[in-house]
Structure 1
């Protein structure tokens, strides 16, 4: 897996990300200005869908480093972002972020539905055997993933209110939005992910090891499936959704799924210094290739000497990490996180900018630890956590085998704080569990599970 991911990054030196992500297909059938008469046409359109996700309004900014990460109290906010950071979702900043995220995510869902419509409308287009099925399953999985993201952002946590009805399911270009409760929507999301997993297991190159195109068309070879919502990424997304619901049976199923990713995926942790790849790219299960500047530019805007002057919260301390833990390198001498996504944070050999992490190996282990423990197998949960700490060069932080569930969850929470710095992940963890969060200024933010972004027209 290490070799495959490095090969995928090497492609960036020969083909620019913007060339990969043409937003309209080329050919002789139409969807808007697009054309569909060959497999490349469909692949171009799919690449454009992923390009939309890396915008500043979505995962290239607001839903990760530039917005949601502040809710986890990682940073002391810049002037004007204080209300947002305290989770005042009626503030002007919150309403702006919410409006752009809601519209942006549904716009991408529309394009997923449009692509699926084109598959139905063009059954005679020839595909390499298995490629059509892979792309259709991937598109359905991406549509389900985006509905789940909307559910996490725009509804209360499932454990707090499963009857809320704020996020509709949109399953076609022409059909109506279907109003559902959170419980009903989550059932639909899980059903869609299940169906996608069955198909992807049979035809995804990341599972089969067999690609579909000798020209390395993005997303069709085992090496570059990390840039797409591949089989293993879908498995992790399903585990997220199961843990969001949180019944013991859900935890048991999530534990099995995550164990399969660990045992069969072939992914490896970064244990030693590897050039200047501070974002640990080889641990990515699914990532979005950043544009020419991407997170580098955003990192400089936040942390750079001429930027907004954002520094790490006092809740972030290097003393919480073992001396050999490579994540210590993310924090620079000025108490900022500039190093992780700085322009120098790249694989020097191929001059690639840091990607936008969407699903990482660390989450697999931490979620697996929680899932096993909450399914009734605390010993296995502790073992998963301890394996993770060993892989992070932090063997001194392993838990005793007789640790309690509370002790495990406290340790997991601490690792969420460090493992996903700048990625917008810990807020969703805290919200799912309805944790009280200590704000950057020492105040307490309670009932986090009840907080959700407003739907702004």
Structure 2
């Protein structure tokens, strides 16, 4: 897949996905097929390869930090950054894409996402010939997840490095890599990449038709709740089949397809996939008592029960809350004035639970971000109500997608989708919109409130090709040079772009 195949493709298996221990690290050298041949001789080898992709993507250069709480959030103007700039994001906030710190992060994101794609392609090139070694439905599950991962990672690469579909679908986007090779993969147009993403996701959806999470006996809940009527996610005798929300399960694929179809402007297909999740009634809204719990052990700040899919990040608790989100001018924070404006606390947001639970007042008019704060993680999980996850796609986003897909034909129904989320966040006032422009403004406000520090707001601005709402009432005009990241220099040189 061009020069990136020179990178060692590291396959990891880890406790993160229900396995009892990390058995080994397997380094697959692209120059040799020996290790690959050994790895893919057993079902366990395929499982390790698959789980290794999730583990790789959960590192800090990707969804474990950078693509969740960092760069896209900085670009969406979600943090106050002082001149102290301890984490070197000030130039990024000012859209200085020639800044060395931004370039390093951007290039690492490119390499990291393509590393995950390389490993997904390794699985996909081997698995069909090895069907006989799999037990139960594991062949279809593993192949389906590998396809979904390939699609998910390519889509985020496109959302970062290519223009929005609505702006220029025929512009060059990114390479869509489907083989494990050292040959250069040509850049595909945005439209071709989108079609490839959809093809992979749709095939994954078909393969995951018998996903255990779809069973009536599979009940979503908190892992430390022992009542099996409330949670059966750990009850499967196969560790590989537990905690399906920690991986790209059937419903996560439906949710991802809804996101992708909306990005393409295909609202009927987006709504079809939204309804596949909502109508299943598998994911329930988080109870206010869990979100507002006084005991930090029992507090669900990330709406865990509503996550269709998330990246497992237990070791990053201290990194987030001991430095990145910290009191004082050295960390990432918001002014109390800005956070009150975002959550509209002088109006309908006065009772918004997200405002009261995700932010605390510090010195010098600073609001400290507590969204990912939790007590120390324990081996038996008993210290906390749930695992610490970086949200990838959640139930509320599907309601926002449904609202956007519905507005043109039924504005009242569209508003009801937004109100459904608002009600479960403590807001009793109904959304009031008079036209399409006002509706879009309300929708973006709700995205910002709900998905704060989750990395999705920037993509909403880009997809809608609209101005970014800055802090202190500022507005950043629509600018394609902001929305489209430059390709890495190495990609331009070695890929002959």
TM-score (norm 2): 0.79
> Which residue number corresponds to residue 285 of structure 2?
269
What are the Cα deviations for residues 7-39 of structure 1, in whole angstroms up to 9, with x where unaligned?
xxxxx99998893696549xxx96449623332
What is the Cα deviation at residue 409 of structure 1? 1.8
Question: Could you tell me which of 98, 102, 106 is aligned with 2:106?
Answer: 98
What are the Cα deviations for residues 367-390 of structure 1, in whole angstroms up to 9, with x where unaligned?
11111224x332321221122222
Q: Distance between the aligned counterparts of 2:461 and 2:16, measured in 1?
A: 41
Structure 2 residue matching 1:122: 3-state secondary structure:
helix
The 5 A counterparts of 1:67-78 are: 67-78=71-82
What is the Cα deviation at residue 428 of structure 1? 0.5
Q: Distance between the aligned counterparts of 1:284 and 1:345, measured in 2?
A: 21
* Alpha carbons 2:375, 2:383 under 8 Å: kept: no
What are the Cα deviations for residues 52-108 of structure 1, in whole angstroms up to 9, with x where unaligned?
001111011111112211111111125232220122222222211110000110010
What is the Cα deviation at residue 271 of structure 1? 3.1
After TM superposition, the structure 1 stretch with the greater mean CA deviation from structure 2, 344-353 or 44-53, is 344-353
Question: Could you tell me which of 330, 354, 358 is aligned with 1:308?
Answer: 330
> Which residue number corresponds to residue 354 of structure 1?
388
> Which residue number corresponds to residue 147 of structure 2?
140
> Which residue number corresponds to residue 369 of structure 1?
403
> Which residue number corresponds to residue 168 of structure 2?
161
- Say what the alpha-carbon RMSD is for the aligned residues: 3.0
* Alpha carbons 1:432, 1:449 under 8 Å: kept: no
* Alpha carbons 1:242, 1:254 under 8 Å: kept: yes
Q: Distance between the aligned counterparts of 1:91 and 1:82, measured in 2?
A: 10
In structure 2, relative to structure 1, the CA distance for the partners of 1:449 and 1:386 (3 Å cut) is farther
2:189 counterpart of 1:177: no
Q: Distance between the aligned counterparts of 2:19 and 2:441, measured in 1?
A: 40
In structure 2, relative to structure 1, the CA distance for the partners of 1:445 and 1:322 (3 Å cut) is closer
Structure 1 residue matching 2:301: 3-state secondary structure:
coil
Structure 2 residue matching 1:365: 3-state secondary structure:
helix
Q: Distance between the aligned counterparts of 2:459 and 2:127, measured in 1?
A: 34
Structure 1 residue matching 2:338: 3-state secondary structure:
coil
Q: Distance between the aligned counterparts of 2:186 and 2:235, measured in 1?
A: 38
Structure with more relative contact order (C-alpha pairs < 8 Å, separation 6 or more): 1
What are the Cα deviations for residues 397-445 of structure 1, in whole angstroms up to 9, with x where unaligned?
x125x74333322221111111111111101101111111143466542
Q: Distance between the aligned counterparts of 2:39 and 2:207, measured in 1?
A: 26
After TM superposition, the structure 1 stretch with the greater mean CA deviation from structure 2, 423-432 or 300-309, is 300-309
> Which residue number corresponds to residue 325 of structure 1?
352
What are the Cα deviations for residues 143-163 of structure 1, in whole angstroms up to 9, with x where unaligned?
011111100000111112212
Q: Distance between the aligned counterparts of 2:128 and 2:305, measured in 1?
A: 36
Structure 2 stretches of 5 or more lacking a match?
Answer: 1-13, 28-32, 219-233, 291-297, 491-497
> Which residue number corresponds to residue 113 of structure 1?
121
> Which residue number corresponds to residue 274 of structure 2?
258
Q: Distance between the aligned counterparts of 2:125 and 2:158, measured in 1?
A: 24
* Alpha carbons 1:89, 1:452 under 8 Å: kept: no
TM-score (norm 1): 0.86
The 5 A counterparts of 1:199-278 are: 199-201=207-209, 203-209=210-216, 214-218=236-240, 220-221=241-242, 224-246=243-265, 250-274=266-290, 275-278=298-301
> Which residue number corresponds to residue 60 of structure 2?
56
What are the Cα deviations for residues 239-296 of structure 1, in whole angstroms up to 9, with x where unaligned?
11111122xxx1122122112211114211123122222122111110111142x144
In structure 2, relative to structure 1, the CA distance for the partners of 1:276 and 1:345 (3 Å cut) is farther
What are the Cα deviations for residues 157-204 of structure 1, in whole angstroms up to 9, with x where unaligned?
111221221301100102652431001111111122112112212x21
Q: Distance between the aligned counterparts of 1:438 and 1:18, measured in 2?
A: 45
* Alpha carbons 2:314, 2:377 under 8 Å: kept: no
Q: Distance between the aligned counterparts of 2:329 and 2:180, measured in 1?
A: 42
> Which residue number corresponds to residue 420 of structure 2?
387
What is the Cα deviation at residue 316 of structure 1? 2.4
* Alpha carbons 1:74, 1:315 under 8 Å: kept: no
Q: Distance between the aligned counterparts of 2:15 and 2:263, measured in 1?
A: 39
What is the Cα deviation at residue 364 of structure 1? 1.1
